[in-house]
Amino acid sequence: MTPTATPSAPRRPSTDARQDRDSRLRAVIGRLSRRLRGTTAGAGLTPSQTSILFTVVRRGPIGLSELAELESVNPTMLSRIIVHLVEEGLLERTVDPSDRRAATVAATAAGRRLRERIHRERTEALAAHLRELDSDRRELLWRALPVLEELAERLGETGP
């Protein structure tokens, strides 16, 4: 008699395989991010300056200590970036009248317009490359969006 094969649960990838996939996902997200940074609209800003501008537009007016924490930037570096963005007319800095040591920043109309132009350029660049994929590949990406959005939300809650 031959033993009867019992169905087994799907095999989980080994720890090495999971780490490899995790590493590949992190690397591809990083490459996509870096390649989408190169916009004409934001050419005069560093990636850190752009990130801080985007955060202030999205969350501002915002206190400098909260902004430093959100952006994982030390206060000295944040101060330099804020000075540059204020000089460029993209942010305005206001001292808290009740505590002269504390300050908030808010985006100016020019800062909000620049953020919009950068977003539009990045979206158009991505869309152009997405059109080059066949419809099945694009559909795979669209189906993965909710999971990627959830992952981004979770990372935002816990940090990198």
Asked whether the beta carbons of 71 and 51 are under 8 A apart, the reply is: yes
- HSE at residue 107, side-chain half, CA atoms within 13 A, is 21
Return the minimum-mean-pLDDT range out of 12-16, 81-85, 103-107: 12-16
Task: Give dist(CA 31, CA 27) in Å, integer.
Answer: 6
Spell out the domains of the chain, with CATH numbers in brackets: 40-133 (1.10.10.10)
Mean pLDDT of 58-63: 92
pLDDT value at residue 97? 81
Asked whether the beta carbons of 56 and 111 are under 8 A apart, the reply is: yes
pLDDT value at residue 5? 54
Please list, in sequence order, all residues whose beta carbon lies within 8 angstroms of the beta carbon of residue 133, skipping any fewer than 6 positions away: 141
Confidence bin at 39 (pLDDT 50/70/90)? confident
Q: What's the whole-model pTM score? A: 0.74
pLDDT in tens, 75-92: 999 999 999 999 999 999
Cis peptide before 160 (omega within 30 of 0): no
Annotate the chain with DSSP letters as a single string: -PPPPPP-PPPPPPHHHHHHHHHHHHHHHHHHHHHHH--STTTTS-HHHHHHHHHHHHH-SEEHHHHHHHHT--HHHHHHHHHHHHHTTSEEEEEETTEEEEEEEEE-HHHHHHHHHHHHHHHHHHHHHHHTS-HHHHHHHHHHHHHHHHHHHHHHHH--
